[in-house]
Amino acid sequence: MTTAAQHRFLIIADGQFDPLTSKTANSCIRYFPERIVAVLDRSQAGKTAQDVLGFGGAIPVVGRLEDGLTRGATVVLIGIAPMGGQLPSEWRDWLRTAIERGLEIWSGLHTFIGDDPELGALARARNVSILDARRPPPDLPIADGRAANVSAFVVLTVGSDCNVGKMTAQLELRSRLVQRGHRTRFVATGQTGIFIEGWGIAVDAVVADFIAGAAERLVLEGARDADIVLVEGQGSLIHPGYSGVTLGLLHGTVPDAMLLCHQATREFIADYRPGGAPWVRIPPLTELVDIYERAAAPVRPARVIGICLNTFDLDEAAARDAVEHAREATGLPVTDPVRFDPAPLADAIVDAAVAAR
Amino acid sequence: MTTAAQHRFLIIADGQFDPLTSKTANSCIRYFPERIVAVLDRSQAGKTAQDVLGFGGAIPVVGRLEDGLTRGATVVLIGIAPMGGQLPSEWRDWLRTAIERGLEIWSGLHTFIGDDPELGALARARNVSILDARRPPPDLPIADGRAANVSAFVVLTVGSDCNVGKMTAQLELRSRLVQRGHRTRFVATGQTGIFIEGWGIAVDAVVADFIAGAAERLVLEGARDADIVLVEGQGSLIHPGYSGVTLGLLHGTVPDAMLLCHQATREFIADYRPGGAPWVRIPPLTELVDIYERAAAPVRPARVIGICLNTFDLDEAAARDAVEHAREATGLPVTDPVRFDPAPLADAIVDAAVAAR
């Protein structure tokens, strides 16, 4: 498949463009802002990405599809991942128009645009490419433990919740480790990572029996030409909706080490509030470390070797306090790898990889 | 859909009919032996089910499809669940012949027979029904915690491994609790249970993001007209290939209590032996109890209230010793609910349900 570097994107995040909800849009803006011509959100037209997110610079938020198309987009990218993954019906007109104009559609929804009777047929008739990043490969195996035998050092990010920075942390660490000369590969397990890297499997979209098999295949592929493999984690072992994906990924990747990701200010699982009330309280970091190490242990023991602390909603001083507090509580290296220097975690990975030889 | 009570079955278990491998076939033979006309296994033709399994009586094992068809079968049921779920190519002829003769096909494979270009088309042309029990409903939700609010007392079987008796235990307990006058519902989460009950969802076949959502839907349905809901568990939290299904089911059902199922003689995860060597050792029962209670706790605490010990491969004295040993080790009620009186576990469920009111 193609990668983001070859395209110019109009991102649809209608009604949901904000720091927390539009996770796919935001990650694309963080990792290839120079390729993004506009974000479509009727409720915030006239602002910039910087206004809304605090990063992303002058990328305009537009209120009409046309305002994005005239800026030279070659791809319309669906930048939100709604609960359940259904295609909002009012977007159908936009996608039809985009296909008629010859733009590719990139989507991470569970409902595959390419299988939509109208849009899929239109795209085929116009010879327009639709990338459904969540579509699993057709021939996934049941895991059989082969990921345990790769010679590369495999690091999995795990989290207190969804959307705390498990992909972002690995991308920052990949950059740093590559800078230092380590042969390092990032392995995408979700749609945004697949958009960024051009390969991967959205493990939350495979048939449940094959979660670990998909994870195993990804590790084998990632380890072919790397000494360090950084696997993007998914969900959380304490997230009632998605914990199965998390455990399957943990046991299928058979990591050598884990990095625990957490948003410093988050007290409850964010998107799981039956009747609107918070339900699942996030336990202290030391307990989360224990939960993940115990879950890994029956298959193969692996330690949490560092904490990635997401501090985007804290001011500078509070962020530094939060990092220091987490370091004292856990005795582990801690940083916000986006905001601060990722070196403490890069060091922890290299040290652990050396020690494991 | 129809249920087993309306049909007569020829079960295909070719080359794999034995006490451990042909799990689907064996469960059907245990629960509706009077409806089964023959088992097809070329390697054991001439024996009876009793010879092979130690139960099932005079049901003949035949070596030719024809020998089953002439015994009045109305359904050909695929009775093995191979790793990966692919349809063995040599079975195609049998299924084609069966469809041409007007027999239904019941399958629990991941590869849907109804979607097979040849067999599916043939069945449609002949107006023959194909039941792919693993096909998920098209509209599954993301879980949102509603299973926590049902008034019924929900019991989930959990296990040390696959194929240790998680479905069988619940079916035995259902019978006993119904005998005692409790409004009790069994909830099928795998293909065999669906064959037996006529409804359910094979949770290992749903898209990974929807495991818990499927579990939640099943509990809501099961609780509509019952005071006790007995949910069939799947896999094991320590099974590297299937643990994701297990945790998703645990968090989606939000059980009030768990029953831990184990085969007394099993030391390692049985079907996960990379290179043929055993890998994952099954920890002691007390540690398994702890693993499951800790996994449940962040969402909603639930206790393991009893142990279902599968002793099929032990003689009577050794089986009684194993039960006594497990009782001493865990301090919990223990029985083999198939071999011995299920009363200790039925009592434990009723007592816990009363205490929870």
Residue A274's pLDDT is what?
76
Contacts with B252 from chain A: Cβ below 8 Å: 240-241
Taking the C-alpha atoms of residue B283 and residue A17, their distance in angstroms, rounded to an integer, is 48
Residue A86's pLDDT is what?
63
CATH of domain A146-356: 3.40.50.300
Question: Which fold is adopted by the domain A4-132?
Answer: Rossmann fold (3.40.50)
Residue A2 pLDDT > 70, yes or no?
A: no
Contacts with A255 from chain B: Cβ below 8 Å: none
Name the closest residue on chain B to residue A145, using Cα atoms.
Answer: B274
Of A142, A145, A243, the CB nearest to B279: A145
Residue B86's pLDDT is what?
63
Provide the greatest CA pair distance for chain A: 60
Residue B233 pLDDT > 80, yes or no?
A: yes
Asked if A115 reaches chain B (Cβ–Cβ under 8 Å), the answer is: no
Q: Which residues pair with B158 in a beta bridge?
A: B260
Contact between A213 and A136 under an 8 Å Cβ cutoff? The reply is no
Condensed to tens digits (0 to 9), the pLDDT of residues B167-196 reads: 999 999 999 999 999 999 999 999 999 999
Distance (Å) from the alpha carbon of A46 to chain B's nearest alpha carbon: 34
| CB atoms B248 and A251 under 8 Å | no
Closest CA relative to residue B218, chosen from B195, B193, B200, B191: B200
Condensed to tens digits (0 to 9), the pLDDT of residues A259-309 reads: 999 999 999 998 877 777 888 999 999 999 999 999 999 999 999 999 999
| CB atoms A274 and B149 under 8 Å | yes
Average pLDDT, chain A: 94
Of B207, B240, B279, the CB nearest to A207: B207
Contact between B211 and A244 under an 8 Å Cβ cutoff? The reply is yes
Name the closest residue on chain A to residue B242, using Cα atoms.
Answer: A209
Taking the C-alpha atoms of residue B20 and residue B2, their distance in angstroms, rounded to an integer, is 27
Q: Which residues 156-185 of B are in CB contact (within 8 Å) with A?
A: none
pLDDT band at A84 (very low <50, low <70, confident <90, very high): low
- The token pair at A59 is 């990328």
How confident is the model over B129-135, as a mean pLDDT?
95
For residue A169, give Cα distances in angstroms to A111, A157, B244, B260: 28, 8, 24, 38
Of A141, A241, A251, the CB nearest to B212: A241
Name the closest residue on chain A to residue B239, using Cα atoms.
Answer: A299
Distance (Å) from the alpha carbon of A37 to chain B's nearest alpha carbon: 31
How confident is the model over A178-194, as a mean pLDDT?
96
Contacts with B236 from chain A: Cβ below 8 Å: none
Residue B6's pLDDT is what?
82
Taking the C-alpha atoms of residue B130 and residue B124, their distance in angstroms, rounded to an integer, is 9
Condensed to tens digits (0 to 9), the pLDDT of residues B315-357 reads: 999 999 999 999 999 999 999 999 999 999 999 999 999 999 8
Closest CA relative to residue B269, chosen from B260, B277, B278: B278
Of A84, A144, A244, the CB nearest to B211: A244
- The token pair at B132 is 């792919």
Of B146, B212, B272, the CB nearest to A244: B212
Asked if B83 reaches chain A (Cβ–Cβ under 8 Å), the answer is: yes
Residue A357's pLDDT is what?
83
Contact between B262 and B308 under an 8 Å Cβ cutoff? The reply is yes
Contacts with A279 from chain B: Cβ below 8 Å: 145, 299
| CB atoms A212 and B84 under 8 Å | no
Interface test with A, best of B218, B251, B293 (most A CBs within 10 A): B251
pLDDT band at B111 (very low <50, low <70, confident <90, very high): confident
Taking the C-alpha atoms of residue A292 and residue A164, their distance in angstroms, rounded to an integer, is 16
- The token pair at A255 is 């990591």
Taking the C-alpha atoms of residue A212 and residue A252, their distance in angstroms, rounded to an integer, is 4
- Tell me the three state secondary structure of residue A324: helix
- The residue among A30 and B154 whose pLDDT is bigger is B154
Q: Which residues 3-22 of B are in CB contact (within 8 Å) with A?
A: none
Of B208, B238, B254, the CB nearest to A244: B208
| CB atoms B291 and A291 under 8 Å | no
| CB atoms A206 and B211 under 8 Å | no
Q: Report pTM.
A: 0.92
Taking the C-alpha atoms of residue A87 and residue A78, their distance in angstroms, rounded to an integer, is 10
In chain A, ranges of CATH 3.40.50.300 domains: 146-356
In chain A, ranges of CATH 3.40.50.720 domains: 4-132
Instruction: Look up residue A133 and give its DSSP letter.
Output: T
